[in-house]
Amino acid sequence: MHVELTESWRIGPVEVPTRLVLAPMAGVSVQAFRRQGRRFGAGLVCSEMVSCAGLHHHNERTLGYLRIAPDERPLAVQIFGSEPAVMAEAAQMVEAAGADIVDINFGCPVRKVTKTGAGATLLDEPAQAERIVAAVAAAVSVPVTVKMRRGLEDGSRACLEVGPRLVAAGAQALTLHPRSARQMYTGEADHRLTAELVERVDVPVIASGDIGSRARAQAVLATTGASAVMVGRAAQGNPWALREILAGEQGEPEREEVVAELVLFARETVRELGERRASGFLKKFYGWYLGRGRFPKQFKQELLVLDDVEEIERRLLAAAPGAADLVAELEAEHAVDEDVLLELPISIYGGG
C-alpha cells in the first residue's frame, strides 16, 4: 500500500496536513523547535511531556510548557502521570491553553518517570492505563491520543493487548515506538508489531522509531498500514531531514542557512525560556546544528564554553556573514504572534 506523505489525514476532528509527525522529546521540544518543525513540513508537532502533578500544583516552570503559538498548530501537548483524576485535570488545562490534542505518555522508559508509576510502567498495568485514558477522554472535548512502547521488557507484546483497550476507553489515535523500555534507544524498532497493532485497532496508528529518511518512512508506511510516521532524533538540529522525508529534497544545507536557522532558534528560545535557562539549554543544539561536517569541531568547542548567547550569535554570524540577511528574512516572514496562554505567573510572560 502506497501512502503519500504529503496527504492530509485526521485524528478525530483534527485535520493533519501531512503524514509526518514531530516527536515529543524531553529537553528538546520547546516552542521554537515545534514552530521550526511546522515550517519544514511536519503536519503535527508535539510538546515535550508535561507533568500532570506540576500542572496540578501550578508549578511555574511546568505551566510554562503550555505556551502555544498559532503557527505551531495543530499541536499535541503530552502529559504524564499515574492518577486518573489528576491526569484529567491536567488535560483540561492543556485544552484551555489551546492545544488541539491531548497526548498521554505510556512510553517513557526513564527511571524518574517509571518509578512514580507513570510512563512505560503503565503498559504492565492495563486496567490503570485504561482508567487514565477514560478519565482524560471524559474531561476534554479535543481528541485524546496515546504514545507507548512495546512493553517494559525485551520481546514484550504488551502494546498489542493494551492498545485496543485504550481505544475502547477513548483514545482516538495511538503512537507505537516498538522498542521495549529496557532497550531505551538501542537495537532496532520492530515495526512488525506496528503492523499487528494496525490490524487490531480502528483508529490511526503513528509509527515511531528509526524513521530517518524518506525511503525508510515510505517503507514503514507501506509495510505496516500506519497512518503516519513520527520523527524524533533525526530532526535534532537538522530540520532539513523533515524536508527530505516529506518531499525528497536531498543535499546538505549551505552554511549560511544552517547558521540562520540556529540563530533564529536561539533567539526564540531566549524569548521563551529567558537568557539564563536558554544558555544551558542551547548547548546541545550547537553540536547538533554545526555537526555532520558542517563546521570544524574546534569552532563547536569554542561555542560550548561560552554562556553569553549574544556572543555566540556574533561568532556564528562572523563565521557565515551571509546568514544575517537570512535571519532577517525568516524573522519578517515568521514573526511570533501572541501566544495563547493560561492565566500564568507574570514571569512566564517574560520568559523567566
Catalytic residues: 108
SS3 state of residue 175: strand
The sign of the dihedral angle between the CA atoms of 54, 338, 266, 23 is positive
- HEC states along 51-78? EHHHHHCCCHHHHHCCCECHHHCCEEEE
Report DSSP letters for 205-254, one per residue.
Answer: EEEESS--SHHHHHHHHHHH--SEEEE-GGGTT-THHHHHHHH---SPPP
Assigned C-alpha cell, 168: 475502547
Assigned C-alpha cell, 272: 521563551
CA dihedral of residues 273, 35, 28, 262 (deg, nearest 10)? -80
- Alpha-carbon distance of 110 to 115, in angstroms, equals 9
